[in-house]
Structure 1
């Protein structure tokens, strides 16, 4: 059967949410991909071709990233992001999905699974954020200052895309122009910095240990041992707090595991989904 792929947009909670649908074999189980902070569906570009033979894949640009609308009206909390995902899957009549979240997308996945456990058969967490608190009070106050978004823009531009990528991958030689362009593209629109200002005040923090212990959905955690963003110790702790969790660690691997180790991630997901 020939590959079917489309970009689509759906208005949910008052903003236009971009998602990609890979439906090479429509009868296959559904996999939902959620990217991390400052990222987009682009981060799964190496993983999707490896999985589309076995899954119907929905990759979502979480607000305000990728091609999704960069709105200053939307409340950029993890709870609301999870609601967007749930509403999208309800609209697409998705049931028993395998939910895969990287970094921030992992935390959004946990919020979604906690809210609607019956919707998700299993969850895969790739270097998921965990145990983070709300932003410091002075940052929340600062977000109300006019033109604060320009400070965020200046800070991010001063870091540079190459430096940021060096922080998230172990092997710096894999960083090429295509990779830099792909991760930089969404930030040419100034509205993303305005939306990130909202996110500073809206993000409520990660789920508590008690919340994690209440999640019964089977979970697979995949972590890079050289992760500088969310250290592997976070994954080890999370694997203890989630009741039905298993953890797999990847040596000489950083935070961006879908880019760095797509074959290893694919193998683990396949074994997990068939177990």
Structure 2
């Protein structure tokens, strides 16, 4: 039976944050879901339902994505986005929790651990971004050109949502109208393209090996065998840099792990967080 999902907004760190809360009478433990680049909480709609069997689930739209704010006054660094999620949870009076981050969301998870290690019990990284450097100065300078946001929109429209989905899933037959419309919806708001210009300037790059090696929080890494966006070699490097990590590889799965195989992902998370 589907669980009731409520849509919420909260003003945090001078920006509006949209999040979804899955009703659960079974647990006081909270698990927080953070999506990837160019995505939203929509990508967790299946996994969130499953996790709500055991957890109080909160799925956050990271600014400027999804239904969260797209202010060009916000600083879109990973560090500041992580701070914003931490402040959101503090305002919700949630002080201890588990984290799940997909792709870019994995980097936000790792940044949150660096800032508040004592609040995060365990973390799950799904095809997490890793070791990406800050963009070259030439690209950052281009983002200041007037109407550069129009170029970003044009560039993303060249492949379109369907083209992007073909890159991130292994089994193309699973792509349907629900997926296409769900991943397209956030980009109907043209403000996101100006915010992406700002993100080009603000994004500081992924955490270094030295920073990762200071993290002792237990981490489960889940990867798709055929991930074209963040290849398995990144997961293997991460599992070596993190002090307390394990890696699980799913066969015949691409980058969009929570969408492609929610049940297997749920089973691994449950086994990791709630061992028998």
TM-score category by the smaller chain?
Answer: over 0.9
Q: Where does 1:183-222 land on structure 2 (aligned, <5 Å)?
A: 183-222=183-222
- Tell me, in whole angstroms, the C-alpha distance in 2 between the residues paired with 1:241 and 1:27: 32
Work out whether 1:157 is the aligned partner of 2:153: no
Q: CA deviation at 1:3?
A: 4.6
- Tell me, in whole angstroms, the C-alpha distance in 2 between the residues paired with 1:271 and 1:139: 43
Aligned to 1:42: 42
Q: Where does 1:8-23 land on structure 2 (aligned, <5 Å)?
A: 8-23=8-23
User: Is the 8 Å Cα contact of residues 48 and 59 (structure 2) preserved in structure 1?
Assistant: no
> TM-score if structure 1 supplies the norm length?
0.98
- Tell me, in whole angstroms, the C-alpha distance in 2 between the residues paired with 1:239 and 1:107: 14
- Tell me, in whole angstroms, the C-alpha distance in 2 between the residues paired with 1:117 and 1:49: 27
> TM-score if structure 2 supplies the norm length?
0.97
Q: CA deviation at 1:135?
A: 0.7
Aligned to 2:112: 112
Work out whether 1:73 is the aligned partner of 2:66: no
Q: Structure 1: where are the runs of 5+ without partners?
A: none
Q: CA deviation at 1:2?
A: 9.7
Q: CA deviation at 1:274?
A: 1.5
User: Is the 8 Å Cα contact of residues 37 and 104 (structure 1) preserved in structure 2?
Assistant: yes
Cα distance 1:29–1:152, how it changes in 2: closer, same or farther (>3 A)? same
Aligned to 2:171: 171
User: Is the 8 Å Cα contact of residues 37 and 105 (structure 1) preserved in structure 2?
Assistant: yes
CA deviation string 1:116-137 (max 9, x = no partner): 0111100000000000000111
Cα distance 1:135–1:190, how it changes in 2: closer, same or farther (>3 A)? same
Q: Which moved more, 1:60-69 or 1:14-23?
A: 14-23
CA deviation string 1:126-182 (max 9, x = no partner): 000000000111110001111100000000011111110000000000001110000
- Tell me, in whole angstroms, the C-alpha distance in 2 between the residues paired with 1:14 and 1:274: 36
Q: CA deviation at 1:26?
A: 6.5
Q: CA deviation at 1:237?
A: 0.5
* CA RMSD after TM alignment: 1.3
Cα distance 1:122–1:144, how it changes in 2: closer, same or farther (>3 A)? same
Q: Secondary structure in 1 aligned to 2:75? A: coil
- Tell me, in whole angstroms, the C-alpha distance in 1 between the residues paired with 2:63 and 2:268: 28
Q: Secondary structure in 2 aligned to 1:118? A: coil
Q: Which moved more, 1:44-53 or 1:25-34?
A: 25-34
Q: Where does 1:48-67 land on structure 2 (aligned, <5 Å)?
A: 48-67=48-67
Q: Secondary structure in 1 aligned to 2:252? A: coil
Aligned to 2:244: 244
Q: CA deviation at 1:27?
A: 3.8
Q: Secondary structure in 2 aligned to 1:45? A: helix
Aligned to 1:235: 235
Aligned to 1:143: 143
Cα distance 1:2–1:41, how it changes in 2: closer, same or farther (>3 A)? closer
CA deviation string 1:51-108 (max 9, x = no partner): 1110000100000000001111101000011001100111111132110000000000
Aligned to 2:103: 103
Aligned to 2:89: 89
Q: CA deviation at 1:28?
A: 2.7
Q: Structure 2: where are the runs of 5+ without partners?
A: none
Q: Secondary structure in 1 aligned to 2:122? A: strand
- Tell me, in whole angstroms, the C-alpha distance in 1 between the residues paired with 2:3 and 2:179: 24
User: Is the 8 Å Cα contact of residues 3 and 49 (structure 2) preserved in structure 1?
Assistant: no
